[in-house]
């Protein structure tokens, strides 16, 4: 499996014949100046963890250009369907969707979810964590924006994810100490990829504190360069 991080929580996953995007905050991202066209090239699916604008990002433009299927909560899918994007695949907590070469299971995230663009607040359901299980590759847990919670242990018991995309930036998500505790107490990740940091001044700017909190398990952490693909 090949992953590419575009800053914040935007990831591209390539495995088998499938390419997908998660939370494509690209055009307005302070950390990525390459637009959305290259990250979205050839994707079949676009996955959204929740409805905040720093995660919705370029979703509408990408769906319109690529015809990719949107996978998210019922509210988020309906929000984009009403904009004319009809290729949607909605679900909610506890559900698993068959997307052909992979499945997506919806799990909890402790956060909120609404679009605040244009000055209007639009409720967009509960936030999600996404467990992405290819039929012939490693399982990835994209935690979304979340605080730590004890039922992360159930996520591990049910799905045994090998790769964790873990928010560490503090203030709106787990900070370094919580994120490290979650990874060490609840999971047996082979690879941990920190995200949701460094984008805005009010977030932690580097992964240094997280690496320090991981201690002897820091070897499991991959801190990627923005826009540079890497294999897991």
**All structural domains of the chain with their residue ranges:** 2-222
CATH architecture type of domain 2-222: 4-Layer Sandwich (3.60)
User: Cα angle vertex 141, ends 32, 227, to 5°?
Assistant: 20
Q: Pinpoint the alpha helices (H) of 147-201.
A: 152-159, 176-186
- Write out pLDDT tens, residues 76-111: 999 999 999 999 999 999 999 999 999 999 999 999
Q: What are the beta bridge partners of residue 167? A: 195
Q: Which pLDDT score is estimated for 148? A: 98
Place of tokens 């012939």: 136
CA distance 83 to 112: 22
What confidence tier does 181 reach under pLDDT thresholds 50, 70, 90? Answer: very high
- pTM summary value: 0.98
- Is 207 in a helix, a strand, or coil? coil
- Is 59 in a helix, a strand, or coil? helix
CA distance 20 to 69: 9
Q: What is the dihedral of CA 7, 173, 170, 122, to 10 degrees?
A: 80
- pLDDT exceeds 90 at position 66: yes
- pLDDT exceeds 80 at position 117: no
């Amino acid at each position: 499996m090949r992953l590419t991080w575009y800053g914040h929580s935007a990831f591209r996953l390539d495995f088998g014949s499938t390419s997908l995007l998660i939370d494509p905050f690209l055009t307005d991202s302070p950390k990525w100046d390459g637009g959305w066209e290259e990250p979205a090239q050839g994707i079949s699916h676009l996955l959204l963890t929740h409805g905040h604008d720093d995660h919705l990002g370029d979703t509408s433009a990408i769906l319109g250009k690529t015809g990719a299927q949107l996978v998210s909560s019922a509210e988020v899918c309906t929000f984009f369907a009403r904009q004319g994007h009809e290729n949607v695949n909605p679900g909610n907590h506890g559900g698993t969707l068959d997307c052909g070469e992979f499945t997506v299971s919806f799990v909890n995230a402790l956060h909120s979810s609404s679009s605040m663009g244009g000055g209007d607040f639009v409720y967009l359901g509960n936030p999600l964590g996404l467990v992405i299980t290819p039929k012939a590759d490693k399982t990835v847990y994209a935690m979304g924006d979340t605080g730590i919670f004890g039922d992360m242990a159930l996520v591990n018991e049910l799905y045994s994810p090998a790769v964790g995309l873990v928010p560490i930036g503090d203030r709106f998500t787990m900070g370094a100490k919580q994120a490290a505790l979650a990874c060490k107490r609840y999971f047996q990740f082979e690879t941990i990829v920190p995200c949701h940091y460094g984008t805005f001044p009010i977030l932690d700017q580097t992964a240094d504190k997280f690496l320090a909190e991981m201690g002897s398990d820091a070897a499991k952490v991959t801190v990627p360069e923005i826009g540079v693909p890497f294999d897991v």
